[in-house]
Amino acid sequence: MYKSPSETRVFCAALRARLDGFDGVDVIVCPAYTSLHEALGILATTEIGVFAQNAHWAKEGAFTGEISPSWLAEMGVGGTLIAHSERRQLFAETDESAALRIEGSLDAGLHVIACVGETEGEREAGETESVVSRQVEAICTVVEQDNLERLAIAYEPVWAIGTGRTATPEQAEEAHELIKSLLDVPVLYGGSVKPENAEELLSQPNVDGALVGGASLQVESFAAICETASRV
């Protein structure tokens, strides 16, 4: 929950200028609902995609406060995050509700970045494999083969979100390899990705990209990660 509409206009204009002519990787920003219109307007003539941060599963209905995925598609939004760790930790997102959101978003024609990952307690208890497998298998139950090309998974270990701690490249690679054994889609790493560690993480064979958190709030640090991704 950063960047008001006016701040989003400034950020997207600067990002557009900074990445002018840039290619080699897909770049996506995920502003708050209230800033989607501004982002779409400023980035419309670029290759930078605009995704939402969440979406409901229903086309419409008695769900006050929720946003229909078909409305997002009508706006021109390309896709949405689903089940970010903060949604799971703070807002009671479950594997089941995440699966419904993923299904509804894909059915509406959106791309989806679906997030999975274990807490610190689960990792220390040796439950990383079982937790991540359970989360991915819930996604598998609602994704049809025809929709796979619009799905990516983001592995974000909860203990590395907003803490400054980062999974080692070996830990990230191990988790990504597990996910790909269950579902053959691109897998992004999210968890305190910074310009300083991006190359080491993105060089891992099964790490296909990054879901960037705090480092995406500044144009220069985000652009530096994008440039690193294009080289590895």
**Which positions are annotated as active-site residues?**
84, 156
Q: 92: Cβ–Cβ under 8 A, 6 or more apart, which residues?
A: none
Rg (CA), the chain: 17
Tokens linked to 10: 């400034």
CB 32 within 8 A of CB 1: yes
Whether the Cβ atoms of residue 79 and residue 105 lie closer than 8 Å to each other: yes
For residue 35, what is the DSSP state? G
Is residue 26 within 8 Å of residue 40, measured between CB atoms? no
Strands lying side by side in the sheet with 28-29? 28-29, 49-52, 79-82, 111-116, 151-155, 187-189, 209-210
Q: Which tokens is 37 given? A: 């219109």
3-state secondary structure 58-76: CCCCCCCCCCCHHHHHHHC
Question: 118 and 132 in contact (C-beta within 8 Å)?
Answer: yes
In terms of Cα–Cα distance, which of 17, 40, 200, 3 is closest to 189? 200
